[in-house]
Amino acid sequence: MEVKDFRVIKSEIRVLGVDDGKFVPHTEGIVIVVGVVFRGGCWLDGVMHTSIAIDGFDATERIASMINGSPHCKQLRLVMLNGVTFAGFNVVDIKRLNLATKLPVIALTRDKPDLDAVRRALNNLPKSEERWKMVLEAGKIHEVRCRGKTIYMELAGISEADAREVVELTSTRSSFPEPLRVAHLIASGISP
């Protein structure tokens, strides 16, 4: 996997924040996934969407397709995900997403992932070993202090130092990056 070398991170770097909408756990169905394009942490430039299966296996491919099919694709420099699990335990393989889009990926969470709890939950789903492998392959969980709070990130295709700089740059209104905060608001607001 190639690590993107930013050298200088511009204040208006185009970042895509991705989050899923509301859903009823342990049911069948689809969930909307929203991506928002931000210039730095200040300007919303675009919105895109796709849908994925609850507890399915299509998150990586559907999100990659959403990104690669977007008119914003050529302007994007980085993808931020709200964690690696979407729609329950539809796990995003961040390394495959990095390769499929040729964009660095940062998966962020407000709370430190409890890997023991994730492992136990995955045991109740089909292909639990395959899902668990994707969770582990997301790599080391890094702590980041941002606006006085600790958040957590996993990385693909970007150095820890550059990821920290992008997270700080895009966290303009809270301790969580603006692209993810807005993606969450939109996805939650348009969910049935």
Determine the Cα angle at 1 with ends 20 and 180, to 5°: 25
Average pLDDT rounded to a whole number, residues 146-166: 94
What was the pLDDT predicted at 5? 62
Is the pLDDT at 33 greater than 70? The verdict is yes
HSE, CB side, 13 Å, CA atoms: give it for residue 151.
22
Question: What average pLDDT does this structure show over 159-169?
Answer: 95
Is residue 145 domain-resident?
yes
* Cβ-proximal residues to 163 (8 Å cutoff; 6+ apart), any chain: 104, 106, 142, 144, 153, 155
Instruction: Please state the separation of Cα 31 from the chain's center in Å.
Output: 15
- Say whether pLDDT at 4 is over 90: no
Domain contains 24: yes
- Counting residues of the chain whose pLDDT is more than 90, the rounded percentage is 88
Q: How far apart are CA 135 and CA 119, in angstroms?
A: 9
pLDDT band of 50, cuts 50, 70, 90: very high
pLDDT of 176 higher than 90: yes
At 17, list the tokens. Answer: 């924040």
102 domain residue, yes or no: yes
**Alpha-carbon distances of 94 from 27, 67, 98, 113, 185, rounded to whole Å:** 25, 14, 6, 15, 23
Specify the number of domains making up the chain: 1
Residue 38 lies in a domain: yes
* pLDDT for residue 1 is more than 60: no
Q: Residue 23's domain is classified under what CATH number?
A: 3.30.2170.10
Q: What is the pLDDT of residue 191?
A: 85
- Interval 70-104: pLDDT, tens: 999 999 999 999 999 999 999 999 999 999 999 99
Any domain includes 163: yes
Q: Is residue 2 part of a domain?
A: no
Does residue 158 sit within a domain?
yes
Of 157, 151, 120, give the one whose Cα is nearest residue 135.
120
Q: Rounded mean pLDDT of the chain?
A: 94
DSSP state of 164: H
Decide if pLDDT at 106 tops 80.
yes
Residue 148's SS3 state is: coil
HSE-CB of 83 using CA atoms within 13 angstroms? 19
**Directed axis angle between helix 115-122 and helix 128-137, to 10°?**
160
Q: Name the residue range of residue 128's domain.
A: 14-187
Residue type, 122: L
Predicted confidence (pLDDT) per residue in 139-154, tens digit: 999 999 988 899 999 9
Residue 192 lies in a domain: no
